[in-house]
Structure 1
Amino acid sequence: MANLKKDNLSIIETIALSVAIIAPTAAMSVNVSLMAETASFSAPLIFFISMIVVGLVSYSVIKFNHYFSSAGSLYTFTQKALGNRFGFLTGWALLLAYIMLAAGCCAELGAFFSKFLNYFGIQIGWFPLAAIFSIGIIFLGIMDAKLSTRIMLTLEGLSIFLILILSVVILFKVGSTKGLSSMPFKTNGNSFSTLASTSVLAFLSFIGFESASSLGEETRNPKKFIPLAIGSAVFVTGIFYLLSSYSQVIGFGLDAKGLKALSSSSLPLTDLSTKYISRTFGIFLLFSASLSCFSCSLGSVCAGSRILFSMSKDGILTKKLSILHKKHNTPYVGIILITIVALVLQAILFNKDGIEAFNYLATIGSLAIIVSYIFTSIGAIVFFKRTKEINNLSIVMPILSIITLLYVLYANIYPIPAFPTNIFPYIVLAWLILGFIINEKLTRIAKGIVLDISSESVH
C-alpha cells in the first residue's frame, strides 16, 4: 500500500495547515458580531477563557505527538489509548467537524466574495460562487501538500497583517479620544451558561489547532515540529483574537448603539475599516477575508481526507479512501469526497444567507470537535497512566479540559436554545450513533472473517 510523502514538509508548512484551518481572519470577520448577539460586549472575555481551555486540550494533543506520528491525528491517539471503538468514534466526530467546517467556510467564502463583487456592480449569489471555488479546493488539495500549505499560509498571513493594522488604528484612535475600557473583559451581566453556550463560536475560531497532527507522516522531525506548530497555533492565534475582538467591540462603541451596530453587522471588519481608515481598505480587507475562508475550507478538506486515509489503512473504511495520487501522493479520493459532501450541505442551505449557513454548519462542527477533544483528553489520562508518566500536569490538564468541555456541551442543550440551534447537539449525537453502528457492524464482519480463516486452517 502506498504511503503519504515522507519528510516532505518543514515546520513552516506544518504550522500552515493549523493556521489555515483556524483561519483567524475568517473567524474575526464574523464571529465577534455573532457572539455579540447573545453575550453583548464580552467576546474578548470568552476568547480569553476559550484560549485557556483549548490550551488545556492542546497539552494532551502535544504529548501524544511525542509518541505517535500519524495522519490519523486524534483518531490514532485515542485508538492507542482507549481501543478501536473509542478511536473510531473520535475520528468519526473529528471527520464531521472537518466536513462541517469545510462546508461552512466555503459558504462564508461565497458570501464574502459575493459582497466583494457587489462593490463593482456584479450580482452573483453565494452558492454559485462556493461551487466554483470548490473546484479550486479539489485542485489545490490534490496538489503536493508543500504547495497547498504554503499557499494557505501566504493567504492567511496577508489577511492577518491587514487586521492587525486595523486593530492598532482603532486602539490608537479610541484610546486617544474616549480612552480604553476593561468592560469587554467583564461578564457584563451575562450568566455563566450564556458565556458557555456562546463560547462554541470561540471554540469554532480555534478548530484546526490539532490539524498539524494529521501531517505526522509527511513532516520532517514530526515529534519536534508538530508540537511546536500546535502550541504556536493556539497561543499566538489566541493573542491575535484578544486584540482583534477587543478592538472590534470598542470600535463600534461600548453603549447600546454600538452593541446594536456590532451585533447587526454582517461585515464588521469592513464597517470598522470604513469608519476608522477608508472604504477602500475595507473592500480590500473583505477580499482578504474571502481568501482566508478559502484557505480554511481547503485546509479542512486536506485534514479530513487524511483522517479517512488513516481509517482506510486500518481497514475500518473502504480501501479506496487510502488510494493516493500517483504524482503527488495525496489522498485525492478523500479530498474529492469531502468536497462533494460539503457542497451538498451548502446546497441544502442555498436559500439561506451565506453567513447564516456558515453559522449553522460551523456550530455543528464545533460541537463535534468538542466531543473529539473530550475523548482525546480521556485517552491521555489512560495512556499516560499506562506508560507510567502520570504526574500532576498529566492528570490535572486533561481533567480540567474534560470538565470544561462537558459544561460547554451541557450549556448548548440547557437552557434549550432557539430553533434551529436546539437541534444541533442532536445532529452530532445522531452522527455518533451512526458511527457506533457502523463500527460494530464492521467489527463483527472482521471477526467473522478471522473465524472463517481459523476454521479453514484447522481443517
Structure 2
Amino acid sequence: MALVERLFRTKPTDQIVAEGGHGEGGELRRTMSLWQLTLFSVGATLGTGIFVILGQAVPKAGPAVVLAFVLAAITALFSALSYAELAGTIPVSGSSYSYAYATLGEIVAWVCGWCLMLEYAVSVAAVAVGWGEYLNTFLQGAFGWTLPAAITHSPGDQGGVVNLTAILIVVLATWLLLRGASESATANSIFVLIKVAVLAFFCVVAFTAFQSGNFANFAPMGAAGITAAAAQVFFSYIGFDAASTAGEEAKNPRRDLPLAIILSLAVVTVIYVLVALAAIGAMPWTDFDPDSTEASLALIVDLATGATWPGLIVSFGAVIAIASVVITVLYGQTRILFAMSRDGLIPKVFQRVDPRRQVPVANTLIVCVFVAVLAGLVPLGQLAEATSIGTLFAFTIVNIGVLVLRRTRPDLPRTFRTPLFPITPILGVIFCVLLMYELAWVTWVAFLLWTGVGLVAYFLYGFGHSRLNEGSVR
C-alpha cells in the first residue's frame, strides 16, 4: 500500500463501534444516564468563564453583550449539531479523534488527537492554577485570611514556589475518576447543581436592583462591538462536546449522546443570557472594569444588597465551578487516549482497564501526574490561551466529518441528523476557520510547533504500531 494511502486510510465505522467499550484486560462499564451525560457537558462548559468573561466582554458591546452571548451560542450550535450526529452514529470514547479516523483518515485523526492532548492537558492545568486564586478570594472574604503565595502560585509568579492548591484539585479529581465512571459522574452532577444554584442566586439578587435605564443605549459600539464580544465569549461555550467522550460508558449512547450535547448547550446559553441581563440591569455597563473581571459578579451582588455575604456565595460558586471542570476535562483526556491506544497509535498502557473498577487506572494516573506537574511547576502564561486553537481545529474536523460520512456511508443508522444539511456543517466550518484566523500569531506558532512534534511522534511510533495498517505491530 502506498504511503499516502496508508496515511489517509479510514477505519471502518462498524469496526470502531464494535470495538467500543473494550480495552486490554477488561471493559468499560455502561452506567451513565442522559441526566449525567448532560450535566457532564454542562460541567465542562460552565466553568469560570461566566465569572470572568462577562467583565471583559461588556466594555466591548455594552448592554448588547446579551446579543453577543446569543450570537456565540448560534455559532457553537453549528458544531454542536455536527457533534450530535456523529456521537449518535459512532458512539465511542474517542470523540472527534474517532470521528476523524472514520471519515478523513489516520493521519488527520492523529493530528486531531494530538492537538486535543495539548488542549485538554494545558486547559485543565490552567483551570487548576486558577482554583487557588478563587479559593483565596473565598477564604479572604469568609475568614479574613489567605493561603501563602508560595503554595498558590507557580514558580516565578508573585513569589510562588510550587502551586500545591493546583496539584490538590487535580489529585482530588483523579481520586474521583478512579472510583468509577458512575461515581465521578454523580460527584460532577452535585458540583454542577451547586454552581447552577449559585448563578441562580446571583440572578435573583441582581434582579432586585434591576434598572431598565441601564439598557437605554443598548448597542453603543454598534454591530462591530457585538461581533467582537461574541468572538470573545464563544470560548465560554467550549466543553459542550464533553459527553461525546463518554460514548462507551453511556447506558443508551445512540439516543442519549446527541440529546446531551444539544441540551447542555441550551442550558448553558439560558444561564449565560440570564446572568448577562441581571448583571447589566443591576450595574451600568460603563462601571464594568475589564481589569478586575474575577470579582465582577461578586461585586454586583454586594452592591445590590449593601452586604458582603452574597459576594462570598458567588466566590464559592467559582471554586465549585473549577472543581467540576477539572473532573470532566480530565475524564475526557483519559478516554481519548484510551481510544488512541486501542488503535495502536500510542502505547498499550493507556487502554488497560482495571477489571474490578472498570476504568483505565494506569491511563488516569499518568494523566494526573502530567497535569499536576504542569499545573504545579510550569508557568503556563500564553500557552493556556493557545489551547483554544486545538478545540477549533477539532470542531472543524467534526463538521467536515459529517459532510464526508453522509456521502460515503449514507446507509449508516443515524439517531440524529443535522438539520438543514449541508448548510449547517458548512457554516460550522466557516465560523471555526474565521475564529482561528482571529487568534494571535503566537497561538498559531504554538499550534504549528505542537503539530510538528506530533507528526514526528506519529512516524516514530504510531505509523508502525497502527493496528489498521498492514505490517502493523500488534
Give your verdict on TM over 0.5: yes
Match of 1:161 among 193, 197, 201: 197
Does the aligned pair in 2 maintain the 1:204–1:363 contact within 8 Å? no
Tell me if 1:18 matches 2:41.
yes
| Structure-2 residue corresponding to 1:116 | 138
- Give me the CA root mean square deviation: 2.7
The residue that corresponds to 1:170 in the other structure is: 206
Secondary structure of the residue aligned to 1:161 is: helix
2:20 corresponds to: none
Are 2:30 and 2:248, in contact at CA under 8 Å, matched by a contact in 1? yes
Q: Which residue of 2 aligns with 1:300?
A: 329
Partner of 1:418: none
Change (3 A) 1:439 1:41: farther
Q: What is residue 363 of structure 1 aligned with on the other side? A: 385
Deviation string, structure 1 residues 52-105 (Cα, Å, up to 9, x no partner): 011100111111122111010111111101111111222222232221221122
Deviation for aligned residue 1:33: 1.7
Determine helix, strand or coil for the equivalent of 1:179: helix
2:67 is the counterpart of 1:45: yes
- Matched with 1:129 is 165
Q: Distance in 1 between matches of 2:271 and 2:139?
A: 28
Residue 174 of structure 2 is matched in structure 1 by 138
TM-score by length of 2: 0.83
Deviation for aligned residue 1:122: 2.6
Matched with 1:179 is 213
1:103–1:346: 8 Å Cα contact kept in structure 2? yes
Render the CA deviation track for 1:234-277: whole Å, top value 9, x for unaligned.
1121121111123223433133xx133x5534211211121113
CA shift in 2, pair 1:444/1:204, >3 Å = same
The equivalences for 1:172-321 within 5 A come to 172-175=208-211, 178-179=212-213, 181=215, 186=219, 188-189=221-222, 191=224, 195-196=227-228, 199=230, 201-255=232-286, 258-260=287-289, 263-277=291-305, 278-321=307-350
Tell me, in whole angstroms, the C-alpha distance in 2 between the residues paired with 1:189 and 1:10. 44
Spell out the pairing of 1:368-383 with structure 2 (5 A cutoff). 368-383=390-405
Residue 248 of structure 2 aligns to a residue whose secondary structure is: coil
Write the distance in 1 (CA, Å) between the matches of 2:81 and 2:454: 27
Q: CA deviation at 1:189?
A: 4.6
- 2:7 maps to none
SS at match of 1:139: helix
Does the C-alpha gap of structure 1 residues 139 and 443 become closer, same or farther in structure 2, counting only changes over 3 Å? closer
- 1:344 equivalent in structure 2: 373
1:416 matched to which residue of 2?
none
Shift of 1:36: 4.2
Number of residue pairs the alignment of both structures matches: 429
* Counterparts of 2:220 and 2:31, CA distance in 1: 46
Answer yes or no: is 1:105 the counterpart of 2:149: no
Partner of 2:89, secondary structure, is coil
Q: Which amino acid aligns with 1:336?
A: L
Ranges in structure 1 where 5+ consecutive residues have no aligned partner:
414-421, 454-459
Q: Which is worse superposed, 130-139 or 385-394?
A: 385-394
Q: Deviations over 1:286-313 (max 9, x none)?
A: 1121011011011100111000000001
Offset of residue 227 of structure 1 = 0.8
| Cα distance in structure 2, aligned partners of 1:363 and 1:325 | 35
Secondary structure of the structure 2 residue equivalent to 1:393: coil
Partner of 1:423: 442
CA deviation string 1:175-232 (max 9, x = no partner)? 3xx4352756x4725747x945x55542332222111111111111100011111011
Query: Cα offset for 1:117?
Result: 1.5
Match of 1:433 among 440, 448, 452: 452
- Structure 2 Cα separation of the partners of residues 106 and 80 of structure 1: 34
Q: Identity across aligned pairs (percent)? A: 20
- Match of 1:273, as an amino acid? V
Asked if structure 2 preserves the Cα contact closer than 8 Å seen for 1:105 and 1:297, the reply is yes
Q: CA deviation at 1:349?
A: 5.2
Asked whether the equivalents of residues 155 and 288 of structure 1 are also in contact (C-alpha less than 8 Å), the reply is: no
Structure 2: tracts of 5 or more residues without a match? 1-23, 153-162, 412-416
Give the structure with the higher percent helix.
Answer: 1
The aligned residue for residue 331 of structure 1 is 360
Task: Judge which range, 200-209 or 318-327, deviates more.
Answer: 200-209
Once the two structures are overlaid, the 10-residue window that deviates more, 396-405 or 324-333, is: 324-333
Equivalence for 1:457: none
1:142-165: CA deviation from partner (whole Å, max 9, x where unpaired): 111111111111112112122122
User: Are the aligned partners of 2:122 and 2:387 in contact in 1 as well (CA < 8 Å)?
Assistant: yes
Q: Given that residues 47 and 238 in structure 1 are in contact (C-alpha distance below 8 angstroms), is that contact kept between their aligned partners in structure 2?
A: yes
| Secondary structure, counterpart of 2:213 in structure 1 | coil
